[in-house]
Structure 1
Amino acid sequence: MKSISTLVFLAIVTALSSPVLSQSATWGQCGGIGWTGATTCVAGTQCVVLNDYYFQCQPGAASTSAPAPTSTVAAPPTGTGSPPTGSLPPAGVLTQVTNFGPNPNNVGMFVYRPATLPSKPPLIVAIHECTASAQIYFSSTQYATLANTHGFIVIYPDAPRSGKCFDVNTPQTLSHNGGGDSQGIASMVTFAIANYGVDPSRVFVTGTSSGAMMTNVMAGSYPELFAAASAYSGVPFGCFAGPNAWNSQCSTGELIQTAQQWGNEVRAAYPGYTGSRPKMMLWHGTADTTLAYPNYGEEIKEWTNVLGVSQTATTTALNNPQSAYTKTTYGDVVVGYSAAGVGHTVPVHETMDLAWFGIA
């Protein structure tokens, strides 16, 4: 019997080689509120309702179409009241949430929410580096503290493997609804939208090192979920692709491609997708010896191509936001911060993230 990972991989190959995506592959999305893709599953699978925002093709029975969304999960509320409280985690503490949807690699979900929230709160997904954890990133960054002031929810994914790095290399994670860590994190987002009243148009992602690499992965594999991203000391989407968790060619800054080649990698993650994509803020230190500085330029190439703006900076500002940092902007959708003399990693600038996200 083929393993689930093998079935997922075969489904990805089939999807990428098909000129028209008329059916969702095994473990792929087949419906839900706002879903505009295929609503029929391949033979041998059925469309299962996980929540109003996410239906999935799961093995069993014949090819079926998506059922109409039910009213079992309330749509995000409107107005100036409070979000639904029955399913919200306790306020003011980091809480682990389980059974939140498809999660093939068992990525942990930890949530922080302040005592007071608007009716449709924003959501920030904050992703930790290797050797760290959701709890460490919660404690070492200021997102939770700022959530108390500005009224947003924070999800801290927790890497499931011993080294605490995220899967940023497999074909599953680098493909929309293909599996891997990225699908687990995407499920956290759709769960929060369905159960916490999160505004689906105000969902953001950020991370450091491995978390920055995963930030690029989420922006590429699940562009429909995020409005903006901020990546601290990462690499381009697809740079680590391959059979091994660590890619030395990429980490040393020797994987150089054209902007079009990088952009094609992102577009191949979600064939046929024509919707909006997140704007990108990228940070990197010139003295980084873990994920070498050339990766910063490759990220700029990739996202300017994907977002349709020139690789030539429209503005350059020295000593911004602080001494030895140089800010470059590319239209209004890509901004980069090059930190002279800074190694791995660039310190997190939480208030600037919130400004980029439009929260504060």
Structure 2
Amino acid sequence: MADHPNRTQARLADLVEATKLTGAGRLQEASDLIQRGLFGSQGASHSGQTADAATSTHSAGGIAEGLHDQFRGALDQVARKFGLSSPSGAVAQGANAPAPATSGFMGFDPATLFRDGNVPSLTTGEGTFTAHSFANEAGARDYRLYVPSRTVTHPPLVVMLHGCTQSPDDFAAGTGMNLLAEQEGFLVAYPGQSTRDHGQRCWNWYQPGDQARGLGEAEIIAGLTREVMQNHDVDPRRVYIAGLSAGGAAAANVALAYPDLYAAVGVHSGLAAGCAGDVSSALTTMRLGPSGAAILQGGTPRVPTIMVHGENDSTVHPRNGEQVLLQAGVDALTPSVSDGVSPGGLSYIRTRYADETDRVVVESWVVRGLNHAWSGGDPSGSYTDRRGPDASRAMVDFFMAHRLDRPRQ
């Protein structure tokens, strides 16, 4: 009997994560993951990829002799099941073992598979995912664009801004946004920060020259958005922007600077627009939360906003998420609070804020037990925690309920 497509994609995601763990020398975890996905092993213990996993110091020592052969055999079985090429060469044993001499499983060398934030496109759907470049007077950036396979007249557009050290491919894989785009029929653009403009690929959200309308990265991202709109006949009333961490802060800046361009904004583990004006204030704000005096109030009209933040975020203090909500104007709205537990076991509080017409214009998700990671994300991308509620789905649902009704400039 053929596998259900969702189950097949889940196994492929597990396979990608197992390959990543192998490249890091974490063979026991990789073997546990493969055993659970392939054989239904009850003894496997895998907690999911989180932001903390990037700095984990799990040791490959103590692995039983012969485990590498067992793992290679499991990969062979998965490869045969999905019609993929088999591993070439034995899997190296130990964290400091040399990389395989050949291209490795599925044509990727596990030691280099995720170098520079690149990941295989196993979660992109059936549409096209292509590379482009954009330039205007403010500067230039490369970007990736996902166009779904189904034909939609005047499709919506979602612009996604990655976090520090990430790339467009990495962010697309981790958020799974392309799969939702395929289902719903919208386009997704992923601008990419370059190491030339920031050594860690962070968006310069804290620099005044990149925060305001007509300046720096804000103008580049807005211009890139307009280019995609023009080239693909996008519905100008349904254009949205979202981001993670530094990308979330940049998305807040851009949305506030261009309220006539974006119908809504999503800020995940990010910061309010204008909350810092240099590196020193940025670091302080990330660690302690913003100073109220430093926040741009946004004025009228405010941009509909969805905020997602982990209660355990040790990189960007959760107070920053609260300030994102204040900047969106929740003090003048009526809240409706609900709570729940995600399928992965993390509890959350969801608050929806309605205006005087009972229209929800701000939404908040505070996730308990979530650190600095995309909630409900795919482990094939960095800075994700699949245990949490699905932030991508929540953002898309919120976005599609909003259309731009403000004058365009």
- TM-score range, shorter-chain basis? 0.5 to 0.7
Which residue number in structure 2 is paired with residue 334 of structure 1?
362
How far off its partner does 1:168 sit?
0.5
SS at structure 1 position matched to 2:365: strand
The more displaced of 287-296 and 310-319 is 310-319
Which residue number in structure 2 is paired with residue 324 of structure 1?
347
Q: Does 1:93 align with 2:128?
A: yes
Q: Which amino acid aligns with 1:167?
A: N
How far off its partner does 1:277 sit?
4.2
User: Residues 67-106 of structure 1 correspond to what in structure 2 (within 5 A)?
Assistant: 92-98=127-133, 100-102=134-136, 104-106=138-140
Which residue number in structure 2 is paired with residue 262 of structure 1?
295
- CA shift in 2, pair 1:215/1:321, >3 Å: farther
Q: Does 1:135 align with 2:156?
A: no
Which residue number in structure 2 is paired with residue 209 of structure 1?
245
Which residue number in structure 2 is paired with residue 168 of structure 1?
205
How far off its partner does 1:246 sit?
7.0
How far off its partner does 1:314 sit?
1.8
Q: Does 1:147 align with 2:170?
A: no
8 Å contact kept, 2:275–2:291? no
- CA shift in 2, pair 1:149/1:103, >3 Å: farther
> Which structure exhibits the higher relative contact order, with contacts defined as CA atoms closer than 8 Å and separated by 6 or more residues?
2
8 Å contact kept, 1:168–1:245? no
Aligned pair partner of 1:278 in 303, 308, 316: 303
Q: Which amino acid aligns with 1:297?
A: E
Q: Deviations over 1:111-134 (max 9, x none)?
A: 110222312000010111111101
Identity over the aligned pairs, expressed in percent?
24
Q: Does 1:232 align with 2:268?
A: yes
How far off its partner does 1:230 sit?
1.4
Q: Does 1:182 align with 2:218?
A: yes
For 2:313 and 2:274, locate their aligned partners in 1 and report how far apart those are by CA, in whole Å.
Answer: 20
How far off its partner does 1:329 sit?
2.1
For 2:353 and 2:145, locate their aligned partners in 1 and report how far apart those are by CA, in whole Å.
Answer: 33
Larger Rg: 2
- CA shift in 2, pair 1:136/1:104, >3 Å: same
Which residue number in structure 1 is paired with residue 59 of structure 2?
none
List runs of 5+ in structure 2 lacking aligned partners: 1-125, 355-359, 378-390, 403-409
For 1:283 and 1:346, locate their aligned partners in 2 and report how far apart those are by CA, in whole Å.
Answer: 9
For 2:244 and 2:336, locate their aligned partners in 1 and report how far apart those are by CA, in whole Å.
Answer: 25
Q: Does 1:357 align with 2:394?
A: no
Which residue number in structure 1 is paired with residue 317 of structure 2?
292
List runs of 5+ in structure 1 lacking aligned partners: 1-90, 268-273
SS at structure 2 position matched to 1:106: strand
8 Å contact kept, 2:265–2:304? yes
Q: Which amino acid aligns with 1:350?
A: S
8 Å contact kept, 1:207–1:231? yes
For 2:302 and 2:314, locate their aligned partners in 1 and report how far apart those are by CA, in whole Å.
Answer: 30
Q: Does 1:315 align with 2:336?
A: yes
Q: Which amino acid aligns with 1:94?
A: F
Q: Which amino acid aligns with 2:231?
A: N
User: Residues 46-61 of structure 1 correspond to what in structure 2 (within 5 A)?
Assistant: none
Which residue number in structure 2 is paired with residue 194 of structure 1?
230
SS at structure 2 position matched to 1:316: strand
How far off its partner does 1:220 sit?
1.1
Which residue number in structure 2 is paired with residue 219 of structure 1?
255
8 Å contact kept, 2:158–2:187? yes
8 Å contact kept, 2:243–2:266? yes
For 1:257 and 1:121, locate their aligned partners in 2 and report how far apart those are by CA, in whole Å.
Answer: 38
Q: Which amino acid aligns with 1:144?
A: N
Which residue number in structure 2 is paired with residue 251 of structure 1?
286
For 1:215 and 1:320, locate their aligned partners in 2 and report how far apart those are by CA, in whole Å.
Answer: 28
Normalising by the residue count of structure 1, what TM-score does the alignment of the two structures yield?
0.65
- CA shift in 2, pair 1:229/1:119, >3 Å: same
For 1:146 and 1:116, locate their aligned partners in 2 and report how far apart those are by CA, in whole Å.
Answer: 12
User: How many residues were matched structurally?
Assistant: 253
8 Å contact kept, 1:236–1:295? yes
For 1:285 and 1:141, locate their aligned partners in 2 and report how far apart those are by CA, in whole Å.
Answer: 16
Greater helix percent: which structure? 2
SS at structure 2 position matched to 1:172: helix
Q: Which amino acid aligns with 2:351?
A: T
How far off its partner does 1:346 sit?
4.0
8 Å contact kept, 1:313–1:328? no
